[in-house]
Structure 1
Amino acid sequence: MATRDALWAYRDRFGDAFGRTYFRRFGPGVAASVGLGTYFGEPTDRVDEAYRRVVRLAIESGVNHVDTAVNYRCGRSERAVGEAVRETVRETAVDREAVVVATKGGFLPFNGERPDDPSRYVRERFVESGIVDPADLAGGHCLAPDYLAWSLDRSLDRLGLDTVDCYYVHNPEAQLATRSRSDVYEALEAAFERLERRRAAGDIGQYGVATWRAFRVPEGHDAYLSLGEVLARAEAAGRSVGPDDDHGFAAVQLPFTIRMADAFTRTNQRPPDDPDGDPVSTLEFAHEAGLSVVTSASIGQGELANENAIPEAVDEQLAGDTPAQRALNFARSAPAVTCSLVGTTDPEHLRENVAAGTFDPLGASAFDAVFE
């Protein structure tokens, strides 16, 4: 598990190579504000090897935040991440405790490859085996505590690690397709209680929710979830389980770019210290609540790496030698953001992304001015 001393030691080793605020508070210490995602790529041996190379290169270059999920590339991304982390620890001076490994559970994963008949696979693998109750399914998604515990065990096994540093409940808004919003909040509280117990057992360091639409859409939208209510359910779970440090809900993952800035521009959350007050943005809520925000799709899944993809008036304010670096630095400039993820299997792209951290992000006033 990542520890305060090891994370700060990693920062001391690499920090002088980067700009100010590159390392930011996360978990028990600090971690890089540029992170590596592992979503894209076919479930093949070739892509596995590419991820192993790039994860090791990232850790050796000043990126110690690696993100994956039980379902990414049919479960193969977790395995590649774990192999790379273990190899790097074994063969270099980097400690396991200096690397933040995050993964997610919620979607039903395939096992190494896409089955010819996914519906049959889900029925035989998950329903008929008793791993999930069909009443808990929303398509290929499940929030039931027993399923999440099973999924976490699979993640630990595939990673080959004793602990996951940050465990996300993945896209809980998927459950809104078949359940009421109040029922989803109840399901989240039950899930958080199980995760609190796994945290107390040392299997996870902290937990959170990774979303796509839930915190970016208007309050009345079918996919909307209240971050305040989600946090309240985690607080209730913490009280129920009873750890001394309250609760382990610490992070929110969501997409954020200049073209997908709803988490900053849309006021759809009630302030944590004044539930009856005027709504605030998700990023402002997270900042006030002390939650870490991890941005996904930080360069628009590659679209913002193209010339002229960023509006000129914004682009000229951003620091970076390439469009990808400037897009990444825009995401890193947003309030409450502790890490911006970029997925790649290309070592040159990885080096380009890491180099974004040598430039300073926008200050608060400059960032606000982008939206005026």
Structure 2
Amino acid sequence: MSSTQSTLPTARLGSQGPLVPRLGLGLMGMSVFYGAAGSDEDRFKILDRAIEIGETFWDTADMYGDNEEMLGRYFKSRPDARAKVFLATKFSFKNNNTENDSSPEYIKWAIDQSLSKLGLNYVDLYYCHRVDGVTPIEKTMEALKELKQQGKIKYIGLSEVSARTLYRAVKVEHVDAVQLEYSPFSLECEQDDDERYGVKKACEELGVALVAYSPLGRGMMTGKYRSPNDLAPDDGRRWFPRFSEENFPKSLKVVDKFTEIAQAKGCTAGQLTLAWLLTRGDMVFAIPGTTKIKSLEENVATGQVHLEQNEIDQLQTVIKAAEVGGDRYPQGVGANLYADTPAME
């Protein structure tokens, strides 16, 4: 794709948010977890291209290595870029990412740290990355509401919260987005009869956008990885259960089915996966990450992939028959997923 005109579909971010691309850009991998970070020169080229082709919904976090500082350098070097980007960041991880803190005191400290690193006066969307299991969600939301009134943030997000927690949160202030892992391997949010996992149904009822992180199963659905040996020695996925020697073949059964269907349709397995995800609801967004311009362009070209109902049904059949091997996080890391918070005293 050489044109500067975006083919990406846009939608309102929940019932009260702005129009943003339904396919955004996860920036985590540019700094951490998937190998060594690239140079600013290389990373800036990716960000430049993202703006050029309309992938302007960017997602970072204060725990993503030098990600916020890198963005600060980027925006400083390109003063016109900030106005073109809808920027989300997150807070809660502290003490070398070993603890979560969603208390009002920490929120107010964390936003000032992020704004300083970014060199900005505000961020568009501010997520609570994980609730800490100690602070009632009402107190967290009151603090986020205060930041919104102060103009430090424009929209409020939560990440990996239960449906119960979300229903409580919106009684304090509207939640614009909930971020969850959502892919053919991670479908818990679709359990619409569950007070913990039924987040998708809750979002639809409450007018909250559902933002899918790792929509390609951390790259698994692209078909580019056939075993753990295809990952670099310092790639963090080597420690994820789904990328183990034992579980890899189970996941590849789904990948190979998607690849077969994609080839017949004239697209890639990754594009087919993203296109499928966007059919799961009008307020579903996806934020695939990449460190390569070619992959960025491939993801954006998903906007040209249209799925007929029979194709969607075919993909759903493949997904429902899948045997997912292994948890999505290493043991001990996933304790705060779809998390509840204590009641207000």
Q: With the length of structure 2 as denominator, give the TM-score of the two structures.
A: 0.72
Work out which of the residue numbers 312, 332, 337 in structure 1 matches 2:278: 332
1:80 paired with 2:70, answer yes
Q: Which residue is 1:322 aligned to?
A: 268
C-alpha spacing 1:234/1:328, structure 2 compared with 1 (3 Å): same
Q: C-alpha displacement at 1:37, in angstroms? A: 0.7
5+ residue gaps, structure 2, are 225-251, 321-345
C-alpha spacing 1:154/1:367, structure 2 compared with 1 (3 Å): farther
Q: Which residue is 2:11 aligned to?
A: 24
1:146 paired with 2:105, answer yes
Work out which of the residue numbers 150, 159, 172 in structure 2 matches 1:201: 150
Opposite residue 292 of structure 2, the aligned amino acid is: D
Work out which of the residue numbers 109, 113, 118 in structure 2 matches 1:159: 118
SS in 2 for 1:103: strand
Q: Which residue is 1:360 aligned to?
A: 306
1:256 paired with 2:182, answer yes
Q: Which residue is 1:38 aligned to?
A: 27
Q: Which structure has more helix as a fraction of its residues?
A: 1
Q: Using CA pairs under 8 Å that are at least 6 residues apart, name the structure with larger relative contact order, 1 or 2.
A: 2
Q: Which residue is 1:58 aligned to?
A: 50
Alpha carbons 1:257, 1:298 under 8 Å: kept: yes
C-alpha spacing 1:345/1:196, structure 2 compared with 1 (3 Å): same
Alpha carbons 2:49, 2:293 under 8 Å: kept: yes
C-alpha spacing 1:48/1:362, structure 2 compared with 1 (3 Å): farther
Alpha carbons 2:190, 2:199 under 8 Å: kept: yes
Alpha carbons 1:293, 1:336 under 8 Å: kept: no
Opposite residue 299 of structure 1, the aligned amino acid is: L
- Report the identity percentage: 23
Opposite residue 127 of structure 2, the aligned amino acid is: Y
C-alpha spacing 1:70/1:206, structure 2 compared with 1 (3 Å): same
Once residues 199 and 119 of structure 2 are traced to their aligned partners in structure 1, the CA distance between those partners, rounded to angstroms, is 34
Once residues 155 and 310 of structure 2 are traced to their aligned partners in structure 1, the CA distance between those partners, rounded to angstroms, is 28
Once residues 47 and 35 of structure 1 are traced to their aligned partners in structure 2, the CA distance between those partners, rounded to angstroms, is 22
Structure-to-structure mapping, 1:161-310, within 5 angstroms: 161-172=120-131, 175-176=132-133, 179=134, 184=135, 186=136, 188-211=137-160, 214=161, 225=162, 227-236=163-172, 247-265=173-191, 267-269=193-195, 281-306=198-223, 309-310=254-255
Once residues 146 and 273 of structure 2 are traced to their aligned partners in structure 1, the CA distance between those partners, rounded to angstroms, is 39
Q: C-alpha displacement at 1:41, in angstroms? A: 4.8
Opposite residue 257 of structure 2, the aligned amino acid is: E
Alpha carbons 2:30, 2:37 under 8 Å: kept: no
C-alpha spacing 1:266/1:162, structure 2 compared with 1 (3 Å): same
Alpha carbons 2:30, 2:38 under 8 Å: kept: no
Q: Which residue is 2:323 aligned to?
A: none
Q: C-alpha displacement at 1:166, in angstroms? A: 0.6
SS in 2 for 1:200: helix
SS in 2 for 1:205: strand
Alpha carbons 2:192, 2:200 under 8 Å: kept: no
Q: Which residue is 1:129 aligned to?
A: none
Q: C-alpha displacement at 1:369, in angstroms? A: 7.5
Opposite residue 263 of structure 1, the aligned amino acid is: C
Work out which of the residue numbers 257, 260, 266 in structure 2 matches 1:312: 257
SS in 1 for 2:218: helix
C-alpha spacing 1:363/1:55, structure 2 compared with 1 (3 Å): farther
Opposite residue 56 of structure 2, the aligned amino acid is: N
C-alpha spacing 1:320/1:83, structure 2 compared with 1 (3 Å): farther
C-alpha spacing 1:195/1:368, structure 2 compared with 1 (3 Å): farther
Q: C-alpha displacement at 1:46, in angstroms? A: 3.0
Q: CA RMSD in A?
A: 3.0
C-alpha spacing 1:362/1:153, structure 2 compared with 1 (3 Å): farther
C-alpha spacing 1:363/1:148, structure 2 compared with 1 (3 Å): farther
C-alpha spacing 1:170/1:69, structure 2 compared with 1 (3 Å): same
SS in 2 for 1:328: helix
1:268-325 Cα shifts (integer Å, max 9, x gaps): 138xxxxxxxxx9321221121100110001111111107643627963896611111
1:142-188 Cα shifts (integer Å, max 9, x gaps): 1111111111111111111221111000122xx34xx5xxxx4x2x2
Once residues 313 and 46 of structure 1 are traced to their aligned partners in structure 2, the CA distance between those partners, rounded to angstroms, is 31
